[in-house]
Structure 1
């Protein structure tokens, strides 16, 4: 009997252990499944927010000019982005009046932008009333974008979860859970129809116009690298090899300073030009201003024989400031001829240089004489715009060419923009929407 009890006790214990293991496995599977669902829901919602943000940017660009060619390009992008936003919105696992209204708004923007784009494709400029309607759509898209971004913050911080939103949507009380109530408020206010500096990505070309001079050896490149940093500051220089398949073939070195700082530096095989230099170090607060850093950057470039460089855009981050400097030929800014400097804001030390754009694009241009007047170019800008500056500038194109333009900076209904009008043909070449932040200026 005792043996029988022992057997049953063992069986009971084994059964309990198996039950616990199965329970843990089931819990883990359910947790894993819940995480997958949560991630999928987040992904769909993030896409909705991104597409609405893109739509807002293109609506803003559409407000800048009434010209048919301009509208055909920007409004078709609005149509494409809003259609994609609607598609991703259908994947969000909740039903509510707010979601329904958002979908309705996106459909209205899609239909209106498609209609206006086709009008522009036919060569017809937009009327003042049609431009006003685009302004109205932009205003709401901006409010909606801000609200949805706040919801992303709530989701990321765990303040709201999709299962809670789903439960509340079934009980029609979703507005109490999160910023969804702001979506609804904004719709009531909407009368409806019932978005590293500009050009910094266009810095490569097949012909390296600024890469002049004869090929050099690795030993010669090492001497140039040490002279650039300062031989008196160097403890050791290590050769890190030759890279031939990059945008610019370079010799790479790792320099150890007397303070044991590690500096990476690349020198071009052709001509022995500095291509890249960078080292990271701790910064101790911000003891100099942005303007101080800009001036130190100018002085540094002049000392390194880069003449006539003008600051264009900058961005601050973690005690550093990255400043873009473009070459200025006479009174014309050549944006393709770009050098980026990374400067520590505690003492103004130059801790990074990227001369890729300058080496790819720099040369003395022959400026054409058959230019339209700036008054003629200005006619392409909306009469509602308040202009703050006008000048000639050379900008790169997506086809690895460049074009001389009149650059107009201004504001329309609190939206800051930069418009580029071809200085020979009078056609619009590009539109940038400007966002000023406490850390610098962004363009889209």
Structure 2
């Protein structure tokens, strides 16, 4: 019902800015209900904390319901009805000019009212505390723009005979505040243009994209992977191993993840793109790594690999299993056993909680000529 309400809300002829807080509440209400259903499905009890969250949702819903009824009455007094003022109907019937000004004012008031309630924090994908989560991989002091330029130039996988120049063109706000550095490379017959994002705090590489014409493929994927691995090592990313890769349009993109004490740490992920004409690294995305990377203690699973395997469906033909740290929907981390197996022609990755064997996530692997995709 909450998701249906959100869909209907989007049909009203007012800007999304005015309805943003209301839409956010509806999304959270739907997702929290889904979270409790999943929890109940595992046999876990609904705690007093959950009931308190539900009470808060109920209170907010009551306020929203009251204000929407008042708005409906005021709109009706002006000769229109909610069911008439969807964006399409308002355009066709020419009634938007009657009802919209009042609706805009009312939604501003509702947004202000909804802002007075504390945000809902829970183990779900739209939890507000994710938006405020600070990057764990940023260390050190704030750097100057001139230092950012030097760091950006050091990211470039320089083509022989090319002269590179760079300059700061702006800053980027968000969870990782960064300098935007534009890079140009010139040599006879070829021009390269690139954009680098360098974190303001200690000058970590966040993103690097280099644009140029890609020639005919001369490298295979294995050679490109070797170029990518050496590039990461040069930048100081230690203990990284290949997770998955995809090849398309003369380029290969590889996902590298950290390995610690034999455990795969998926949150510490870096993506590298290599041009298959000459092996030049033309792309780097380290944002996930910077958000998640932090010193971790020893990994101590409660279950052994064989004990965890006993929780799997007998229909899954297991090929291998290993320990892996994976991100949860709430932005936290969980130690799991990752099992790769098949059911008929389909290949899956199944993640079981290393503490109790509960299923955490199931991914399907899709093999194609471009590489292996996960969905």
TM-score where L is the length of structure 2: 0.62
Q: 2:199 aligns with which of 252, 259, 268?
A: 268
Q: Give the superposition deviation at 1:439.
A: 0.4
* Structure with the bigger percentage of helix: 1
Higher-Rg structure is: 1
Contact 1:406–1:421 under 8 Å retained in 2 = yes
Seen in structure 2, the aligned counterparts of structure 1 residues 345 and 338 have a Cα distance that, compared at 3 Å, is same
Aligned to 1:226: 153
Seen in structure 2, the aligned counterparts of structure 1 residues 370 and 412 have a Cα distance that, compared at 3 Å, is closer
Number of residue pairs matched by the alignment: 251
2:211 partner SS:
coil
**Residue correspondence of structure 1 range 309-388 to structure 2 within 5 A:** 309-388=240-319
Aligned to 1:247: 175
Q: 1:303 aligns with which of 226, 234, 238?
A: 234
Q: What do the CA deviations read for 1:275-333 (whole angstroms, capped 9, x no partner)?
A: 11101222222221111111111111111111111111111121111110001112011
Structure 2: which 5+ residue stretches go unaligned? 1-33, 45-129
Q: Give the superposition deviation at 1:266.
A: 1.2
Aligned to 2:167: 238
**Residue correspondence of structure 1 range 92-241 to structure 2 within 5 A:** 206-229=133-156, 233-241=162-170
Point out the more displaced range, 212-221 or 284-293. 284-293
Q: Give the superposition deviation at 1:235.
A: 4.1
Q: Give the superposition deviation at 1:229.
A: 2.5
Q: Give the superposition deviation at 1:204.
A: 8.2
- CA distance in 2 between counterparts of 1:345 and 1:290 reads 8
Contact 1:204–1:400 under 8 Å retained in 2 = no
Higher relative contact order (CA 8 A, sep 6+): 1
Contact 1:329–1:364 under 8 Å retained in 2 = no
Contact 2:210–2:283 under 8 Å retained in 1 = yes
2:216 partner SS:
coil
Aligned to 1:284: 215
Seen in structure 2, the aligned counterparts of structure 1 residues 356 and 285 have a Cα distance that, compared at 3 Å, is same
1:258 aligns with 2:186: yes
- CA distance in 1 between counterparts of 2:240 and 2:301 reads 26
Contact 1:396–1:402 under 8 Å retained in 2 = yes
Contact 1:204–1:360 under 8 Å retained in 2 = no
Aligned to 1:439: 370
Contact 2:157–2:281 under 8 Å retained in 1 = no
Q: Give the superposition deviation at 1:233.
A: 4.4
